[in-house]
Chain A
Amino acid sequence: MKAMVALLLALIAAPAQAAQDYPADPLGSPMWRAHAQILFGDDPVRFDARVKVEFPAIAEDQRAFPVAIDARGIPGVRRMLLFADLNPIPVALDYRPIHAAPYVATRIKLDQRTPVRGAVQLTDGQWLVSGGWIDAAGGGCSTPPVSRVKGDWADHLGEIRGRAWPQQNGARLRLGFRHPMDTGLVANIATYHLDHLAVKDSDGRLLAEMDMWASVAEDPALTLMPDAPAGGRLLVEARDTNGRDYVARIDVARQSPIPARP
């Protein structure tokens, strides 16, 4: 009898939990609840402007729209999501800054006017969300990559460029991959994208890792802030959906960069 009651309670409780009352979306997006259910489930969620989601005022190129999520003002961030509600592939990045500052910048595709959001999860499980609307022409996800049109993508596949500079805490790592990042939404070209990336130090310690989807722009560019000293060496390991491995080694410069001139 006791077990029966418990089961009944569980059955009643389950739907109630799945439909938790997420806070009202300040952006008024039609997809907010749907994404929140998938991404956050039963974890507590609130909107918090300390999650800085920064992007330009206009989407000049809907194939490559720069976005940065800066959560350095929030202690205890363990995970960061970048997503665009109305993209056919909403989530671009799922980043875990294990020994790294909670900052990530990249370029994404935009398929139409959409909210662009950053969500960070704290060690206690709760999610803090922020973001804004950006207007964009259609087709960021459904037009062929430039390198497919030019036909030279395979000649450059796997080229990685990058540099790392010391900063006040840890290093600033800039990475650029050559990869078509095919969405699977362009006729007869199957989904093909980088899907995992890890940053390690010279002892092989995992500093940060992320999962990536094809809504990241062609030739993915990333800024990360791993904990690494000036003069230290970083190892970057990535893999794409065809199982091809990518490896890069980057020495953190001994001197911080010259600041960009005003």
Chain B
Amino acid sequence: MLSRRSVLTGLALLPVVARAAESYAIEPEQIAEGIWMVRGADAPIQPDNGGAIANIAIVDTPAGTVLIDCGPSLRYGLALKRVAEGLTGKPVIRVYVTHLHPDHGFGLGAFDPTRAAALPGTIAAIEAQGQGFSDAMYRILGDWMRGTDLLLPRVALTAGQEDFGGRTLRLMALSGHSSADLALLDEQTGLLIAGDLVFHDRAPSTPTADLLAWCASLDRLAALDHGALLPGHGPLDPGGTAAIAQTRDWLAWLDATLTDAIAAGLDMVEAGMLPIPDRFAGLAAARYELQRSVSHFYPELEAQLLPRVDRPD
């Protein structure tokens, strides 16, 4: 007969025994000749998605496999490497990190560090802010992050192009979503891999954004001769223009709305509860990102827009 204590002990042990480490489902979808995307969840970074919210691109080149971004954790990076190399039958020879955010570049530990490349501004930003992002990721994701160290891409890129045995990727050094944002154009298919400069049916996030610079970068992407567009978050845009227009529309609305909210005397709480126009009804995480953006921009905007009142009359 079981004693009460042994039953209790057994119950306490059960969850530990039953819980194996969770794994990422990496399911590439072909979006152009020799290019696959791994779709991220259109959601905030949460334990139920392991932080796998960013879109990743796998490019098959004659010289080897090229990855654009590598996911949120070591575990993701390892799974991505296995799936990508299985798909192309070639080793990964280049990993681009489009910008500093952890959902895009924290899988680097799975790859040869001398193959990891980013804009100099991105490398500097990861060096300065990466530890804070890493702490936040461990706090939110727990075991998903096990073994994930903060690593810097070793190759500093300049705008131009890289040739991989005949398949050429054009590199564009832009900014606005962060201080340095890399966008890539596959010359062979015209596919534009926009990183987080473009969101699609998912509200843009702004923790490191400069809205003016971001809009200028979107203008450059819109003027570029390209085909389909892979956004950093959200579904592929086959026409290549809708997602750019939608991102620009949201950013312009956000800017005007926050400015108006301050002119109307609203507090941050009230600004975060403002109605979101119907045309954004299809954007995932819209309320969440509006409230985050209020936090990112409001104090500084108030300091600009409210007059000084501490002078004697």
Contact = CB atoms under 8 A, between A and B. Distances in A.
A225 to B, nearest CB: 10
Contact of A258 (B264, B291, B295): B264
Contact of B261 (A61, A160, A260): A260
Interface size of B as a range: 35 or more
B257 interface: yes
A247 B275 contact: no
B260 A258 contact: yes
Contacts of B294: 56, 66
A249 B269 contact: no
B310 A163 contact: no
B212 interface: no
Contacts of B287: 57
B272 A165 contact: no
B295 A60 contact: yes
A247 B309 CA distance: 8
A172 interface: yes
B310 A221 contact: no
Interface stretch (B105-113, B181-189, B299-307): B299-307
B268 A249 contact: no
A176 interface: yes
Interface string B134-169: 011001000000000000000000000000000000
B309 A250 contact: yes
Main secondary structure of the interface of B (DSSP, over half): helix
B288 A58 contact: yes
B268 A66 contact: yes
B43 to A, nearest CB: 13
A261 B313 CA distance: 34
A198 B302 CA distance: 22
Interface size of A as a range: 35 or more
A236 B309 CA distance: 10
Nearest to B304: A161
Contact of B306 (A66, A161, A246, A259): A161
Contacts of B271: 260
B274 to A, nearest CB: 6
B307 A161 contact: yes
Interface string A156-181: 00111111110000001011100000
Nearest to B292: A60
A158 B256 CA distance: 29
A223 interface: yes
B263 interface: yes
Contact of A262 (B266, B275, B308): B275
A60 B92 CA distance: 36
A161 B300 CA distance: 12
Interface in B227-279: 256-257, 260-261, 263-277
A180 to B, nearest CB: 14
A89 interface: no
Contacts of B273: 54
A209 interface: no
B115 interface: no
B204 to A, nearest CB: 14
A58 B294 CA distance: 11
Given A60-B292, A262-B274, A174 B312 contact: no
A60 B291 contact: yes
Q: Most chain-B Cβ atoms within 10 A of its Cβ — which of A66, A105, A250? A: A66
B90 interface: no
A37 to B, nearest CB: 29
Contacts of B263: 257-258, 260
Nearest to A250: B309
Contacts of B269: 54-56, 66-68, 105
Contact of B260 (A57, A158, A261): A261
Contact of A158 (B272, B310, B313): B310
B302 A64 contact: no
Interface string A126-146: 000000000001000000000
B226 interface: no
8 contacts: A56-B268, A66-B269, A67-B269, A105-B269, A137-B135, A258-B260, A260-B261, A262-B274
Interface of B: 44, 135-136, 139, 207, 256-257, 260-261, 263-277, 287-288, 291-292, 294-296, 299, 302-303, 306-310, 312-313
Given A161-B307, A260-B264, 17 more contacts: A66-B267, A66-B272, A160-B308, A160-B309, A161-B308, A162-B307, A163-B265, A163-B309, A176-B303, A176-B306, A221-B302, A249-B309, A249-B312, A257-B264, A258-B263, A261-B260, A262-B276
Closest 9 CB pairs of A and B: A66-B268, A105-B267, A60-B295, A160-B310, A161-B306, A56-B291, A257-B264, A262-B275, A248-B309
